[in-house]
Structure 1
Amino acid sequence: MEANVTGRQYFVLILILGLMTALGPFSIDMYLSGYQAIAADMHTTSASIGLSLASYFIGISAGQLLYGPLLDRFGRKKPLYIGLVVYILASLGCIAAHTLGAFVVVRFIQAIGSCAATVASVAMVRDLFPIKDSAKVFALLMLVVGASPMIAPTVGGYVTVAWGWQSVFIILTLLGAMVLAACIFFLPESHQPDPSISLKPGPIINGFLEVIREPQFATYALTGAWAFAGLFVYVSASPVIFIDIFHVSKETFGWIFAGLSVGFIGSNQLNSLVLRKYRSDQIIGPALLGQAIAGAIFFIGTYYGWFGITGTIIMLFLYLSGLGFAYPNAAALSIAPFKRNAGSAAALMGALQMGIGGLASTFSSLLSKDNPMPMVTIMAGCAILSCVILAGGRTRITNPVLLQDGGDAVVVH
């Protein structure tokens, strides 16, 4: 039930929801600088450590489908508490892991736990704030997500050098405990349990099938997922590319990663200005085409040895900038046709994004061992495939539904 929040309470709620939102991105980005140190301790390669990132993405994908019905059935806080406890225990498990297999498994469990905070934060924005404030609140939370790639790898690089890679997971454990305490003492229960929500597989699966049968959802959700998969591949392979192949320091890698995130964040914010003049369906095509062209040039240049570290950084910046325009519009167009089952649509969209991203990053992690070609090839392929899906899928959308200013859905004939 929507609450009237003002002043200090408003700030406290934003802060807590921001911490909940940050848990997943920090868990992804903060240990990237420690790939080499983790690999040395576990007697494996840095590329193989990338499998732990892939397992995290897969865990996020599965977890989003899990927590949606639980948060509706039992209220927001009980599933949130359980998820955060799982996250804390799994973070401790990462510290204790001594083999690659164990590390990959506990990272998967850590992702399942962090999903509770991710999904609950989105649901509680709708519960706690007036509808007119939702866009502003989500924008504030997205700044947290956007700032993570700028802060987490840099901090992770310095603490890894100073105290070892285990210190990263000590920090994540403390962050999880802090979020849990804040939720217990300062976060209100915003949704009463609803026993009528079925947790049986049949009704849940039927709800998701109803969503995927919508041509507009299928087109834009898959388009956005494959486009976004390029980012997952970059995140997974970048420690190997920059630290092992280009031989930059862990601290320098953190700064490179932060600088490249400016391309994605900046274009994402610029997209908001462009939307004042153009619709999402008018922006997404050119944005995806730009990403695909950048990917193709990156592939050709890397194959012929044109790019050193500077050229690689420039091409990654251009690729991520195209994605910053493409993804938010794909997400908006995916959920536009839905009112009653918008939650299921959002959960399925997130699951597709994380699942496809996890699959792509797994292949990249297995192959990117001594040269950047596997990463570049998969990134280019993801961008080109997203263009193909968009071109083919649009022919099946007879009456596209678009979101106009104010969040109203309109059917364009």
Structure 2
Amino acid sequence: MNIEKSDTSTGYSSSWIMLLALLTALGPLSIDMYLPALPQMASDFGTTTQQVANTLPAYFFGLAVGQLVYGPISDRIGRKKPLYFGLILYSLASLLCVLAESEWSLILARVLQALGGCVGVVMARAAIRDRLDLSQSAHAFASMMIVMGLAPILAPTIGAWILAFFSWHAVFVVLAMMGLVCLGCVHFFFKETLPADRRLKLNFSQVARLYMTILLDRSFRLPMLAGCFSGAVLFSYISSASSILMDGYHLSQQQFAYAFGMNAFGIMLLSFINKRLAGHLGVLQRLCVGVLIQLLGAVILFAAGLQWLHSFVGVMAGMFMAVAGIGFTGPNATALAMSQQGARAGTASAIMGSLQFGCGLLGGVLLNILSWNAVLNVAVIMLIFLAIGGIAISALIRDQRLQSTI
């Protein structure tokens, strides 16, 4: 398997993108595969589905913290060594989830699982920036999202199939095995993308200054905010999906898996369309298109939450648009944010990923605080996040117009 031979038009090979997508897919697999099991877990733990769903914000917390650690470490020692550590930790923590006897022990195990699993997404973004320019990066991120889009489509279905024969514990056994598969792929097929002469020699105080320097860089900060808050819409949806679809509309585990998979398919579909539009619309223009699609979906959900729209089909349509729009916003915001980061791409990737999952954690907390119905709760959170993302995009457009007039 040669993952290094690149297509001259894109700057990367399909097998290389598939490897990076596999590493990144651990996140959605870990988040989505156990969603059909939440009611069963709640019954075992003697609590509510929403209480068990709090293990999702716990996972987001681990993702947010872990990425801040892996980013600067990878800029100092390279991309491959952190992958070894993170994937081993992920596999061990997945087995700890199997042993959980309450929602609180599961929360702790999920935090550890996330601290390990988040290494893949940091290294994937950094590796792409190590090798590719802005246009190639946007293309690569879109290609990766198409491939990894299969993960949230398949994950709930796989989870439902496992539950048809085994208890929820088996889901985490499967995740542990996937972590070991990723570890093997890294060992045999992942080639270091950051050579020793480009690595940053950083101590703790220098890392803190580097974080500050990157955050003060408007060319990074504005697209990062746009990507993080539009991406956080997905995590708000994930945190509420079981309550809305299984508790609210009484979908079975298998029906939930199909409904969830359809929304995840939307991300893959719009990622494909995003790639096809690369020759017609610029990166920033496609980012704007994505936010508008997500905003329309959030407005439909808001109307449903206010009971102006009573149709289950309408709720599903709103969810589909709010989630699928990430196929435009995710790749383009990431490409813009990473385009000027050079050797500090690992740290920049960590900041972007950490804030995105931090927003997911915030969305999960808000879902527990808001006292309206589940649909209205998630719609309000989505609208707030998209408003912040829209403000960042407006500032980015103004900056680009100013630069074009100079």
Range of TM-score over shorter length: 0.7 to 0.9
User: Matched residue of 1:372: which SS?
Assistant: helix
Separation (CA, whole Å) in 1 of partners of 2:16 and 2:219: 34
Read off the aligned partner of 1:310 and give its amino acid letter: V
Shift in alpha-carbon separation, 1:247–1:338, aligned structure 2, 3 A: same
Separation (CA, whole Å) in 1 of partners of 2:15 and 2:336: 32
Aligned to 1:330: 333
Cα deviation for residue 256 of structure 1 reads: 0.5
Aligned to 2:52: 49
Aligned to 2:281: 278
Determine which of 257, 262, 267 is the counterpart of 2:265: 262
Read off the aligned partner of 1:89 and give its amino acid letter: L
Determine which of 295, 301, 316 is the counterpart of 2:304: 301
Cα deviation for residue 200 of structure 1 reads: 2.3
Structure 1 stretch 331-340 or stretch 355-364: which is displaced more? 331-340
Determine which of 8, 19, 23 is the counterpart of 2:22: 19
Determine which of 99, 103, 106 is the counterpart of 1:103: 106
Cα deviation for residue 304 of structure 1 reads: 2.3
Separation (CA, whole Å) in 2 of partners of 1:286 and 1:15: 26
Determine which of 360, 363, 367 is the counterpart of 1:364: 367
User: Matched residue of 1:266: which SS?
Assistant: helix
Q: Which string of whole-angstrom CA distances, capped at 9 and with x for unpartnered residues, describes residues 191-240 of structure 1?
A: 56679744422111211211211223222211221111111100111011
TM-score normalised by L of structure 1: 0.85
User: Matched residue of 1:44: which SS?
Assistant: coil
Read off the aligned partner of 2:359 and give its amino acid letter: I
Q: CA RMSD in A?
A: 3.2
Shift in alpha-carbon separation, 1:134–1:310, aligned structure 2, 3 A: closer
Determine which of 133, 141, 145 is the counterpart of 1:142: 145
Separation (CA, whole Å) in 2 of partners of 1:278 and 1:110: 39
Could you tell me whether the CA contact under 8 Å between 2:263 and 2:324 is conserved in 1?
no
User: Matched residue of 2:388: which SS?
Assistant: helix
User: Matched residue of 1:341: which SS?
Assistant: helix
TM-score normalised by L of structure 2: 0.86
Q: Determine if the alignment matches structure 1 residue 160 to structure 2 residue 163.
A: yes
Q: Which string of whole-angstrom CA distances, capped at 9 and with x for unpartnered residues, describes residues 149-205 of structure 1?
A: 110111111212320111110100111122223434554556566797444221112
Separation (CA, whole Å) in 2 of partners of 1:263 and 1:412: 38
Q: Determine if the alignment matches structure 1 residue 313 to structure 2 residue 298.
A: no
Aligned to 1:79: 82
Could you tell me whether the CA contact under 8 Å between 2:304 and 2:375 is conserved in 1?
no
Aligned to 2:94: 91
Q: Which string of whole-angstrom CA distances, capped at 9 and with x for unpartnered residues, describes residues 24-68 of structure 1?
A: 221111111111111111122111222211121221122222112
Separation (CA, whole Å) in 2 of partners of 1:4 and 1:196: 21
Shift in alpha-carbon separation, 1:123–1:238, aligned structure 2, 3 A: same
Could you tell me whether the CA contact under 8 Å between 2:122 and 2:353 is conserved in 1?
no
Cα deviation for residue 124 of structure 1 reads: 4.8
Could you tell me whether the CA contact under 8 Å between 1:47 and 1:369 is conserved in 2?
no
Could you tell me whether the CA contact under 8 Å between 2:125 and 2:349 is conserved in 1?
no
Q: Which string of whole-angstrom CA distances, capped at 9 and with x for unpartnered residues, describes residues 258-309 of structure 1?
A: 1112222212221222231121223333442342233223212321252332
Could you tell me whether the CA contact under 8 Å between 2:299 and 2:318 is conserved in 1?
no
Q: Determine if the alignment matches structure 1 residue 120 to structure 2 residue 119.
A: no
Separation (CA, whole Å) in 2 of partners of 1:188 and 1:289: 38
Aligned to 1:169: 172
Identity %: 31
Separation (CA, whole Å) in 1 of partners of 2:194 and 2:300: 50
Could you tell me whether the CA contact under 8 Å between 2:94 and 2:176 is conserved in 1?
yes
Q: Determine if the alignment matches structure 1 residue 391 to structure 2 residue 401.
A: no
Could you tell me whether the CA contact under 8 Å between 1:220 and 1:330 is conserved in 2?
yes
Structure 1 stretch 126-135 or stretch 239-248: which is displaced more? 126-135
Structure 1 stretch 286-295 or stretch 121-130: which is displaced more? 121-130
Could you tell me whether the CA contact under 8 Å between 1:211 and 1:345 is conserved in 2?
yes
Separation (CA, whole Å) in 1 of partners of 2:317 and 2:272: 20
Gaps of 5+ in 1: 401-410
User: Matched residue of 1:353: which SS?
Assistant: helix
Could you tell me whether the CA contact under 8 Å between 2:157 and 2:257 is conserved in 1?
yes
Read off the aligned partner of 1:246 and give its amino acid letter: Y
Aligned to 1:211: 214
Cα deviation for residue 369 of structure 1 reads: 9.2
Shift in alpha-carbon separation, 1:163–1:357, aligned structure 2, 3 A: same
Separation (CA, whole Å) in 2 of partners of 1:12 and 1:269: 17
Shift in alpha-carbon separation, 1:119–1:260, aligned structure 2, 3 A: same
Q: Which string of whole-angstrom CA distances, capped at 9 and with x for unpartnered residues, describes residues 350-393 of structure 1?
A: 22212112211332255589642212221222223322343356
Structure 1 stretch 53-62 or stretch 359-368: which is displaced more? 359-368
Separation (CA, whole Å) in 2 of partners of 1:50 and 1:145: 23
Gaps of 5+ in 2: 8-12
Shift in alpha-carbon separation, 1:181–1:338, aligned structure 2, 3 A: closer
Aligned to 1:34: 37
